[in-house]
Amino acid sequence: MDNTMLEHQKWRPERNPGQTSGRKARQDRPGLRKRGGGWLAIAAACASLLFLSPASAQTETAPAAEPAPATTGGAAAQSYHSATIFTLKTGIAEGRMVYIGVGGDINGQVNPTLMVHEGELVQINLINGEGAEHDVVIDQYAARSSIVVDKNASSTFSFTASKVGEFSYFCSIAGHREAGMEGLIRVMPGQREAMSSDAADVVRDPADLPGPVGQRGPKVVKVDLETVELVGKLDDGTTYTYWTFNSKVPGPFVRVRVGDTVEVHLKNPADSVMAHSVDFHAATGPGGGAHATQTDPGDETVVTFKALKPGIYVYHCATPSVAHHITSGMYGLILVEPEGGLPQVDREFYVMQGELYTVEPFGTQGEMEMDYDKLISERPEYFLFNGAVGSLTKTHPLYANAGETVRIYFGVGGPNFTSSFHVIGEIFDSVYSMGSVLSPPVQGVQTVTVAPGGATIVDFKIDRGGHYVLVDHALSRAERGLAGYLIVDGPEDDDIMHAGPAEQAAE
């Protein structure tokens, strides 16, 4: 190998040949409607899946749904993250029967006033807290829960806040309303404005990855990583102090070929609070490089390893507490291409899943703090793609055209939960199981299991235009932030799918 050949990877790279950047894709899609700093639309059929299971204890506020683009035939568009969600638990307080708010701004409040805006989709979750029969009814919207009988039984229902005003919610069981089970829902005119924030956007654009290595011989590849601690936007009105590689979650997508020598420079700025390091699962040697890269604030370290085996691998910080560093955002993927590279596709995307463990319940606004007890007990408040709620829906959706082939490099930073990765409305043509590119890919796969610290590659051709949803098929996690959009421009081929019965052939 000629060590004088040095490839220095940059992290605003050109995309793959023929691949359109996220910004250009947005410009090229006049049929899509801009919303709140990003593109947000999804077919109403996908939205109905949100309500298959009760939400976890939370109050979540998200923008109201917009009218659908013309390509959807005028149907109302909703999403996995388009509801304003409240959780109420029945109980006894102040000597009377009441509803008690759970999570977010209503946490602990007795018969809390539920604040929503005109046009918002509202979801109310009811939990039975003491074992008597209860329900929740809102007469003006003809909306009600099921009756919950046993302690910890739950019910969920939803409605669109189409009427402005102040309305009662109450228990319809005889005598319960009079005994104290009544509160207000206040519907305010106009759309909710997202709270402004000076927090940084930490979300890695899924289209931000270097192009294929292709046909070349081995060389030295220099990788620059900087461990940046910064206050980032976790959700609308919610911030968190992230620990990152290069200011984004996940860290940069590193791309080399088998036989390359990878020279990693890890810099920890002087204003950091913590020491940091990096462990490459693609490296062979003690700690994956972590032993050589324990880097104090103000220092820089270097580790070099040979990329011996092709595949898609996770890298992460390995400074104690390792789980704390990972959950705060310090993970990424490295692809070691086989000789000659992978089969060519039209578009490639980079998506990683992780969890956050905050003191405050999911949906709380303000500055969040990490809860170490929840971390070691594996009780996350947030499940996230690319670091934030709405990361791949409101701010950085995936874009493609009908007829194109798509590849998603998917990994789980974790640190604790396995993902069942699924794209609603698509079937993976090829899956590189457990991230192996040496074995033949599995074909025709619906859902892929990816362990913490693991990764996979999925390829599929998009045959029909429309809106597709990326999820972990442990679907309750969608209500804690875990959803993404693949927005596909192009014909909606009725031969593949259409509303209504099959057309009968002429006799």
Instruction: Identify the CATH number of the domain in which residue 131 sits.
Output: 2.60.40.420
| Tokens of residue 108, six digits | 């602990």
Going from the C-alpha of 4 to that of each of 89, 221, 222, 261, 264, the distances in angstroms are 67, 11, 12, 12, 16
**Among residues 188, 211, 241, which one ends one of the domains?**
188
- Residue 325 annotated in ligand binding: yes
Q: What is the pLDDT of residue 499?
A: 87
- Residue 265 annotated in ligand binding: no
Q: What span, in angstroms and rounded, lies between the C-alpha atoms of 194 and 120? A: 13
Q: Are 400 and 15 in contact (CB under 8 A)?
A: no
For 459, the domain range is 1-36+198-492
- Residue 115 annotated in ligand binding: no
Q: What span, in angstroms and rounded, lies between the C-alpha atoms of 389 and 85? A: 14
Q: What is the pLDDT of residue 443?
A: 97
Residue 321: asked if its preceding bond is cis (omega within 30°), the reply is yes
Mean pLDDT of 309-333: 98
Q: What span, in angstroms and rounded, lies between the C-alpha atoms of 32 and 100? A: 41
Q: Which residues contact 88 (CB under 8 A, 6 or more apart)?
A: 99, 100, 101, 102, 112, 124, 125, 126, 127, 136
Instruction: Provide the terminal-to-terminal Cα distance of the chain, rounded to the nearest Å.
Output: 70
Question: For residue 66, how many other CB atoms are within 10 A of its CB?
Answer: 18
User: Which stretches does DSSP call E strand in 317-418?
Assistant: 331-337, 347-356, 366-368, 382-385, 398-401, 405-414
What ranges in 138-203 are assigned the alpha helix state H? none
Do residues 118 and 230 share a domain? no
Residue 250: asked if its preceding bond is cis (omega within 30°), the reply is yes
- Residue 317 annotated in ligand binding: yes
Q: What is the pLDDT of residue 105?
A: 85
Q: Are 455 and 330 in contact (CB under 8 A)?
A: no
**Among residues 156, 188, 220, which one ends one of the domains?**
188
- Residue 422 annotated in ligand binding: no
Residue type, 420: S
Do residues 351 and 464 share a domain? yes
Do residues 209 and 115 share a domain? no
Do residues 5 and 132 share a domain? no
pTM of this structure: 0.74
**Which helix (H) or strand (E) element contains residue 323?**
helix 322-327
Q: Which residues contact 103 (CB under 8 A, 6 or more apart)?
A: 56, 57, 58, 59, 87, 361, 362, 363, 364
Establish if 507 belongs to a structural domain. no
Do residues 363 and 427 share a domain? yes
Q: What span, in angstroms and rounded, lies between the C-alpha atoms of 145 and 147? A: 6
User: How many folded domains does the chain comprise?
Assistant: 2
Q: What span, in angstroms and rounded, lies between the C-alpha atoms of 177 and 77? A: 35
Do residues 269 and 327 share a domain? yes
Establish if 429 belongs to a structural domain. yes
**Which of 164, 167, 166 lies closest to 190, judged by CA?**
164
Establish if 503 belongs to a structural domain. no
Q: What span, in angstroms and rounded, lies between the C-alpha atoms of 281 and 310? A: 11
Establish if 92 belongs to a structural domain. yes
Q: Are 232 and 239 in contact (CB under 8 A)?
A: yes
Establish if 214 belongs to a structural domain. yes
Do residues 284 and 322 share a domain? yes
Assign residue 387 a region: left if phi > 0, alpha if psi is -120 to 50, beta otherwise?
left
Tell the residue number behind the tokens 């940059």, with chain if given: 10
Q: What span, in angstroms and rounded, lies between the C-alpha atoms of 1 and 373? A: 49
Please tell me which of 42-46, 79-83, 109-113 the model is most confident about, judged by mean pLDDT: 109-113
Q: Are 351 and 205 in contact (CB under 8 A)?
A: no
Q: What is the pLDDT of residue 46?
A: 40
Do residues 278 and 336 share a domain? yes
Q: What span, in angstroms and rounded, lies between the C-alpha atoms of 361 and 350? A: 28
Among 29-43, 226-240, 398-412, name the one with the lowest average pLDDT: 29-43
Residue 27 has pLDDT above 70, yes or no: no
How do residues 92-114 score in pLDDT, each as one tens digit?
A: 998 999 999 998 889 999 999 99
Establish if 274 belongs to a structural domain. yes
Among 31-40, 163-172, 457-466, name the one with the lowest average pLDDT: 31-40
| Tokens of residue 199, six digits | 């927090």
Biggest CA-to-CA distance, the chain: 85
Do residues 215 and 152 share a domain? no
Residue 334 has pLDDT above 50, yes or no: yes
**Among residues 188, 220, 236, which one ends one of the domains?**
188
Residue 202 has pLDDT above 80, yes or no: yes
Residue type, 346: D
**Which helix (H) or strand (E) element contains residue 294?**
none
Establish if 502 belongs to a structural domain. no
Do residues 119 and 5 share a domain? no
Establish if 500 belongs to a structural domain. no
Confidence of residue 188 (pLDDT cuts 50, 70, 90): confident
Q: What is the pLDDT of residue 81?
A: 47
Do residues 276 and 174 share a domain? no
Confidence of residue 67 (pLDDT cuts 50, 70, 90): very low
* Residue that wins the pLDDT comparison between 320 and 118: 320
Residue 40 has pLDDT above 50, yes or no: no
Do residues 427 and 352 share a domain? yes
> Residue 385 pairs with which residues in a beta bridge?
353, 388
Residue type, 68: A
Going from the C-alpha of 461 to that of each of 72, 189, 286, 348, 484, the distances in angstroms are 21, 43, 40, 12, 18
